[in-house]
Structure 1
Amino acid sequence: MGANVVFIATYDTKGLESDYIKKRVIANGALCTTIDVGVGGEPTARPDVPLSKLCEGTEFTVESIHRMPRGQAVAAASNLVERYVDREFKAGRIDAVIGIGGAGGTQIVTQTMRTLPLGLPKLMLSTLASGNTRWYLEDSDIAIMPSIADVAGLNCVTMMIFDRFAALAAKAAQWYSSDFGAHARRLLDRSVLRVGQTMYGTTTKGVTRAREALEAKGYETLVFHASGAGGRAMENLVRDGVIHGVLDMTLAEIGAYLVGGLHNAGPKRLEAAVERKIPMVLVPGAADTIVLPPMDELPDKFKNGRTLNYHNPTMTTMRTNVEENRRIGEFMVEKLKGAGSLAKVLIPRGGLSSIDRPGEIFYLPEANEMLFDTLKQGLAGTGVEVIEDRRHLYDPGFGESAAELLDGMMKEFYKK
């Protein structure tokens, strides 16, 4: 039996297009099972799994969904297809999940995709791919592709896009069917211990030195961009048992959550390692930074009285102030206070990022002092050791010292 692509689409509006893509997937050597999640009326082509099949065993019928306000109907279809695909995946009948859509279709399909595990191919062809896709992707490995033209009709543009999409889907499913098993076994292999790290452009040198030192000691390192999704992805892999220790040297996601920046990882940042009871070293790198939109799109509350840095044409960074650093410290204390000796905090007193040193735009020692004092006072008596180092995050030897600290904790912990 060949690799199977599960294809989710709104057949009430995209039946013709869906049938075309299905035929192209099959022509590229894979099987294709289509699922209808259209909520606006009868399908315009025949799917393999109609909406009525998704409704079986639930409180819903096709008729009741059609009578709902559109938003409620979309939510119902999202939940129904998620339930159905979960069963099919657990039964081993899925090698890739793909979907097409505009706003409603993208929501329905990606909700299901986000529940599926890392590694299973997930391809979304969407009219929204060039906009803000964070709500649809979150911390998943969904690949979202722009449709260029709307997913409406067959023409010289849509057929080219659909053909490419189908070829990618078929090849991805074939890869999963034949090759993913080896990767899955490696993810669960504990013969080599893995360390999760976080990084920014302004913490890269220190993080890289730490990474190289850990790799020289035999660890496998997984580095995550602290973009919000990156921090959540690292925490998920900790919970999944893929990561065995954490050297978290870029904590800007905390400030983004508290202040309102783009790189917001949410309220559960720093929780996974504590929950899993694995070694963790935290360095408050980039706690001086909040990532914001471009200068001409800044929210009004950040336009006056703040230190702003032109990071690049699409991004502004803002220096955290004294009060914000106090709140960041309190957040860290709250998350770490139950970790005991499995967590250590290493403070680079010389500066938290490449632009936090004398003469640089983010140099604000009083804000750093507030962060450091909050951490020391809040973690006193908890068993979490706070170590102060006079060096800057970028100074030679600092990253190596952070790696050495975690290495000692890992050796002690995993000798059991």
Structure 2
Amino acid sequence: MDCIYAVATADTKGRELFYVRDLIARTGVKVVTVDLSTRLSAGPSLTDFSAEDVAACHPQGGARIFSRDRSEAIPAMAEAFDLFLRQRSDVAGVIGLGGSGGTALIAPALQALPVGIPKLMVSTMASGEISGYVGASDITMLYSVTDIAGLNRISRRVLGNAAHQIAGAVSFAVPVVDDENPALGLTMFGVTTPCIEAVGEALEQEYDCLVFHATGSGGKAMEKLADSGMLVGLLDLTTTEVCDLLFGGVLACGEDRFDALARSRLPAVISSGALDMINFGSPATVPEKYAGRTFYHHNPQVTLMRTTVEENTVMARWIAKKLNRCEGEVRFLIPEGGFSVLDAPGQPFWSAEADRAFITTLESDLIQTARRKIVRLPWNINDPRFANAAVEQFRQLINRE
């Protein structure tokens, strides 16, 4: 019977770990406990899997963990726990308990688990910036409110809710549907929604269209699925995350954007969707160095800044360098009529000069081959004719495979 793995550093959070274990067990779901302490225990382990059991999974064994100071032991134990979970065939779900160190120790292994397996992290860090802990995975972060340092009137309620949440997720898991249609990855932003909706509608009878919001984590999630073999192709038409990576926006992709495409060699239709903008929070959060630029206030918490000729040149070179490593079928579609809803004649971000800088630089730097080509189209990215062309290009690539 598959079971829930309840995980914590038992030397400091044993009482909480066993409290959660007992509550899960009362629901009828099988549960096992795992100790991730980075200090050797003097007595016998009270958990189902001891810290020594987990540490033994590290390529260099327990010596890599237990003889090190905390700054070295935590990442080493994180690596060991990742390898430990990969070896288990009975993981129905995982619940972790931790402060800053425990969360950093547990989260990487949760990120590596397949999408759909319930993952719950009760953490003192959950009320702050958590993108580094969640990554591109479906991890649920629950703020512990009080420190995870004993049982009290608050922690009993919070940990009790967490125990029942993970038990419920496992008990009432949605069955995996073996969809007959293969899956595609599509990237979308608010300002490219008409395009992606039209593409999805045109392909939904043939493919399971998975749309990823281009918010930094969206691109990472799509590429994680590409690496895992869950996708048969990409319509990566909204590449705006590159703007934020290169120029300090808040929705940045990682430096490895497009690397999954190179590794997987999936057929891909790519475009310059929303490369006309860099994303910031409220106006007060925009760096002072950008004073005097062209802005669009999307809402009180989202400020968009128009990219310049120079920035478009830099982006085109960065993207071309990445795509030159891709040996699969790749088509880069250029919407000459603008890169977003805002980048069109009469709209706030319309700049033919900035768009032209991207286009000419990409054409100069991208090494075109029989399998890697640029296609110019005379429409805005949200014109229905552009969407139709993207669909037709993708069908051609699939048929060439």
TM value normalised by structure 1: 0.87
Choose from 150, 158, 162 the match for 2:159: 162
How is 1:285-364 mapped onto 2 (pairs within 5 angstroms)? 285-302=273-290, 304-337=291-324, 339=326, 342-364=329-351
Query: What residue is the counterpart of 1:406 in the other structure?
Result: 394
Deviation at residue 136 of structure 1 after TM alignment: 0.8
Q: Residues of 1 paired with 2:143 and 2:299: CA distance?
A: 24
Report the Cα distance in structure 1 between the residues aligned to 2:328 and 2:48, rounded to whole angstroms: 55
| Deviation of 1:381 (Å) | 4.3
Shift >6 Å, 4+ stretches: none
Q: Which of 265, 278, 287 is equivalent to 1:277?
A: 265
User: CA 1:36/1:393 → structure 2, altered by over 3 Å: closer, same or farther?
Assistant: same
Letter in 2 for 1:298: V
TM-fit CA distance, 1:339: 4.5
Counterpart of 1:149 in structure 2 is 146
> Following the alignment from structure 1 to structure 2, what is the Cα–Cα distance between the partners of residues 249 and 390?
16
Amino acid at match of 1:26: A
Any idea what SS the aligned residue of 2:384 has? coil
Shift of 1:119: 2.2
Shift of residue 213 of structure 1? Answer: 1.3
**Are 1:112 and 2:109 an aligned pair?**
yes
Q: For the structure 1 residues 345 and 83, does the alpha-carbon distance in structure 2 shift closer, same or farther, using more than 3 Å as the test? A: closer
Deviation at 1:203, TM superposition (A): 0.8
Q: Distance in 2 between matches of 1:408 and 1:159?
A: 58
Distance 2:351 2:34 in 1: 56
Residues in 2 aligned to 1:16 and 1:78: alpha-carbon distance in whole angstroms:
22
Measured after TM superposition, the shift of residue 353 of structure 1 is 1.0
Unaligned runs of 5+ in 1: none
Determine helix, strand or coil for the equivalent of 1:397. helix
How far is the alpha carbon of 1:61 from its aligned partner? 5.2
Q: Any idea what SS the aligned residue of 2:204 has?
A: helix
CA separation of 1:332 and 1:61: change in aligned 2, threshold 3 A? closer
Q: TM-score, normalised by structure 2?
A: 0.90
Cross-structure match for 1:227? 215
Structure with greater proportional helix content:
1
- Give ranges in structure 2 of 5+ residues lacking alignment: none
Distance 2:399 2:306 in 1: 37
Compared with structure 1, are the counterparts of its residues 285 and 43 closer, same or farther at alpha carbon in structure 2 (3 Å cutoff)? farther
Following superposition, the deviation at residue 167 of structure 1 comes to: 1.2
The answer to whether the 8 A contact 1:355-1:362 is kept is yes
* SS of corresponding position for 1:170: helix
Instruction: Read off the aligned partner of 1:368 and give its amino acid letter.
Output: D
Partner SS, residue 348 of structure 2: coil
Q: Which residue does 2:52 correspond to in 1? A: 52
Structure 2 residue identity aligned to 1:82: D
Identity %: 33
Match of 2:256 in 1: 268
Match of 1:172 among 164, 169, 174: 169
Deviation at 1:340, TM superposition (A): 6.4
CA, structure 1 residues 356+159, in 2 after alignment: closer, same or farther (shift >3 Å)? same
Distance (whole Å) between structure 2 residues aligned to residue 338 and residue 68 of structure 1: 39
2:134 alignment partner in structure 1: 137
Give the length in aligned residue pairs. 397
Task: Summarize the Cα distance change of 1:340–1:68 in structure 2 as closer, same or farther, 3 Å threshold.
Answer: closer
Separation in structure 2 between the aligned mates of residue 344 and residue 55 of structure 1, nearest angstrom: 46
Q: Distance in 1 between matches of 2:15 and 2:353?
A: 63
3-state SS of 2:191 partner:
coil
1:161 deviates by 1.7
